[in-house]
Amino acid sequence: MNKRTYPYKSPDTLTRSYRNKLKLFFRALYESISGTEQDFTSGNLGRAILLLSIPMVLEMMMESVFAIADIFFVSKLGAAAVATVGITESLMAIIYSIAIGLSMATTALVARRIGEKNDAAAGHAAFQAILIGLAVALLLALPGSLLAPQLLVLMGIPAATAHEFAMYTAIMIGSNAVIMLLFIINAVFRSAGDAVVSMKVLWLANIINIILDPCLIFGLGPFPAMGIAGAAVATATGRGLAVVYQLYLLLAGKRRIGLRREYMTPDLRVIRRLLRLSSGGIGQTLIATSSWIGMVRIIAMFGPEVVAGYTIGIRLVVFALLPSAGISNAAATLVGQNLGAYLPSRAERSAWTTGLVNLVLMGGIGMLFVIFPRHFVGLFITDPAVIAGGAQCLRIISYGFIAYGLGMVMVNALNGAGDTATPVKINLFCYYIVEIPLAYLLAIPLGMREQGVFYAILIAETMLTLTAVVVFRQGKWKTLKI
C-alpha cells in the first residue's frame, strides 16, 4: 500500500509564516487608518473589508461622542439644562433621519458610478446630493429656530425653562445644514472607498467640539460664558469646520472623488433618483426610531426604575452596535462598487464575508453582555433596582447579537445595491406588526411585564435578520439599475 506523504514544515518555518501573516495584518491595519489607493472591485476581499471597516468603525464611534461631550459639560448646569439637551436631541431625530436617508442614497449612487470607473458621474451625483441637503436644511432651519421655545414646551419642558434654554435648541436646529453636509459628504468619501477621510473629518469635528464646549459654556479664558447655548455653538463650530475641510478636499481634487466646475450643474434627473432612493432610507430610520418610542411607552407602565434600567441597557446595546454599523457600511460600499463594475458574484460574496466578520464580532460582544450585564450597567448607576432591571434588559437583548450583526450587513447590502425600499417593508413588518404588538401581549395579557418587552425586541430583531437573509438570497438586488 502506498503511503501518502505530506510536506513537512519545521517549527521555524511555521513561526516565520505566522510572523509574515502578522506583518501583513499590521501593514493593512496601518494602511486602513492612513489611507489606501486599493481598487475594491479586485484583489483580496478580506483585505478590502479590513481596509474599509476599520476607519468606518472609528467614524461611527466618533459620531456618538458629540452627544456624550455635550451632556458631560452641560450636566454641570443642572437637570433642566440636561433635559433641554435630551429633548433637543429627540427633536433633531427628523433631521438625522433625513441626513441618514440622503447618505444612504448617496452611497448607493456614488459607489455604483465609482465601480463603473465613471468618476465624472460620481462627482456629478455627489454635487446633486449636496444641493438636496442644503435645500432641505434651509427649509427646516428658519421655522425650527424661530419656534424653538414652543417646540420645547410641546415636548413637555416648562414654559419658563423653555424660554431660558431655547437658544440651545434654536442654534442646533438653525445650524442643521452642517449636519446634513457632514453626513452626505462623508457618504461620498465612504462610497468612493476613501473611508479614512470620513474618519478624520469626525475626529476633527469632535476635537474642536470638546475644546470649545467648556470654553463657551463656562467662559474660560477670552471666551464669553454662554451657558447651554455655548454647547450648541461649540457643536455647530466643530461640525462647520469639519464641513469646510470636507469641501476643501472635494474641491482640491486630490482624493478618489472630487468636485470639478463642470460637475456643478443641477440635474433634475439625478436629483429625482436621489430623492427616490433617500425616501427608503428616511423611512427605515423613522420606523426604527418610532418603534423605540412604542417600547418605552409599554415599559413606562412598570415604574421609573424599570424605565431607567431599560434606558441604560439600550444605550449600551446601541453603543455596542456602532462597530457593527461601521462594518455594515463597508458592505454597502463593496456591494455598490462591485455592481457598478458588473461583478454581482463578488458583490454577493463581499456581503456574506462581511456578514460573517460582523457575526463573529457581535457574538463576542454579546457574550460579554450576557455573562457580565450587571457590571456594565453598574458603570452608569448605583441604584440596585435600576441595575437589576438594566442587567435583565441587557442580557436578554444580547442573546441576539449574532443575528443583529448579520442582519445589519444584509440590510445595508440591499441599501448599497440601491434597493432602499425593501428594508422599509422589512422594518414595517418586524417593528410595527411583530415587535410592538408582541411586546404588549407578552408584557400585559401574559403577565411577563418588562421581560416580555425585552423578549419581543429579541424576537423581532432576529426575525428581521432572517427576513433580510431570505430577501438577499433571492438576488433581485443584483439586477437593479440606478
- DSSP secondary structure, 379-393, as one string: TT---HHHHHHHHHH
Q: For residue 396, what are the CA distances in angstroms to 301, 358, 404, 444? A: 19, 20, 13, 18
Domain residue ranges in the chain: 42-266, 281-482
220: how many CB neighbours lie within 10 A of its CB?
11
Task: Please tell me the distance from the alpha carbon of residue 208 to that of residue 70, in angstroms, as a whole number.
Answer: 12
Grid cell for residue 194: 476613501
Measured CA to CA, the distance from residue 311 to residue 394 in angstroms comes to 10
Burial bucket for residue 379 (CB in 10 Å: 0-12, 13-18, 19+):
exposed
Cα separations (Å) of 277 from 98, 116, 475?
12, 19, 19
In contact, 350 and 273? CB cutoff 8 Å: no
DSSP secondary structure letter of residue 429: I
Q: What is the mean pLDDT of the segment spanning 163-175?
A: 92
Instruction: Identify the top-confidence range among 66-80, 122-136, 197-211.
Output: 122-136
DSSP assignment of 229-291 equals HHHHHHHHHHHHHHHHHHHHHHHHT-SSS---GGG-S--HHHHHHHHHHHHHHHHHHHHHHHH
| 314-348: pLDDT as tens digits | 878 888 888 888 889 899 999 999 999 999 999 99
Helices 79-91 and 159-174 meet at what angle, rounded to 10?
50
Mean pLDDT of 256-271: 90
pLDDT tops 80 at residue 461: yes
Residue 22 has pLDDT above 80, yes or no: no
Give the whole-number percent of the chain exceeding pLDDT 90. Answer: 55
Give CA–CA dist 118/54, Å, rounded: 26
* Mean pLDDT value across residues 209-231: 92
How far apart CA 237 and CA 223 sit, in angstroms, is 14
Contact of 195 with 59, CB cutoff 8 Å = yes
* pLDDT greater than 80 at residue 156: no
Note the pLDDT of residue 20: 67
* Spatial CA neighbour of 416 closest among 37, 56, 30: 56
Instruction: Look at residue 421 in the predicted model and tell me its pLDDT.
Output: 92
Predicted local confidence at residue 18, as pLDDT: 61
pLDDT tens across 118-127, in order? 999 999 999 9
Q: What is the pLDDT of residue 367?
A: 94
For Cα atoms 95, 98, 104, give the angle at the middle one, nearest 5 degrees: 140
- Using an 8 Å Cβ cutoff, are 124 and 270 in contact? yes
C-alpha cell at 315: 444605550
Q: Does position 21 have pLDDT exceeding 60, yes or no?
A: yes
Q: Which three cell numbers stand for residue 454?
A: 425585552
Closest CA to 334 of 257, 416, 414, 411: 416
**Verdict on whether the full-model pTM lies above 0.85:** no
| Residue 457 or 42, more confident | 457
Q: How far apart are CA 372 and CA 387, in angstroms?
A: 12
- The CA–CA distances, whole Å, from 49 to 26, 30, 35, 165 equal 14, 14, 14, 45
Rounded alpha-carbon distances, angstroms, from residue 408 to 22, 311, 425, 454, 468? 29, 22, 15, 19, 9
Q: Is the pLDDT of residue 1 over 60?
A: no
Give CA 372 to chain center in angstroms.
Answer: 26
Q: Mean pLDDT across the chain, nearest whole number? A: 87
Contacts with 105 (C-beta within 8 Å, 6 or more apart), sequence order: 129, 273, 274, 275, 276, 277, 278, 281, 420
